[in-house]
A and B are shown apart, each in its own frame.
Chain A
Amino acid sequence: RKEVEQDPGPFNVPEGATVAFNCTYSNSASQSFFWYRQDCRKEPKLLMSVYSSGNEDGRFTAQLNRASQYISLLIRDSKLSDSATYLCVVNRYKAGGSYIPTFGRGTSLIVHP
Chain B
Amino acid sequence: DGGITQSPKYLFRKEGQNVTLSCEQNLNHDAMYWYRQDPGQGLRLIYYSQIVNDFQKGDIAEGYSVSREKKESFPLTVTSAQKNPTAFYLCASTEASRNGYTFGSGTRLTVV
Contact = CB atoms under 8 A, between A and B. Distances in A.
Contact of A105 (B33, B42, B90, B105): B42
A106 to B, nearest CB: 6
A73 to B, nearest CB: 15
A87 B43 contact: yes
A103 interface: yes
Size range of the interface on A? 20 to 34
Interface of A is mostly: strand
A103 B42 contact: yes
Given A32-B98, A43-B105, A101 B33 contact: yes
B48 A104 contact: no
A4 to B, nearest CB: 8
A1 interface: no
Interface string B91-112: 0101001111111111000000
Interface of A: 4, 8, 31-32, 34, 41-46, 49, 87, 89, 91, 98-106
6 cross-chain pairs, A with B, having the tightest CB-CB distances, nearest first: A105-B42, A43-B103, A103-B43, A103-B42, A32-B98, A46-B100
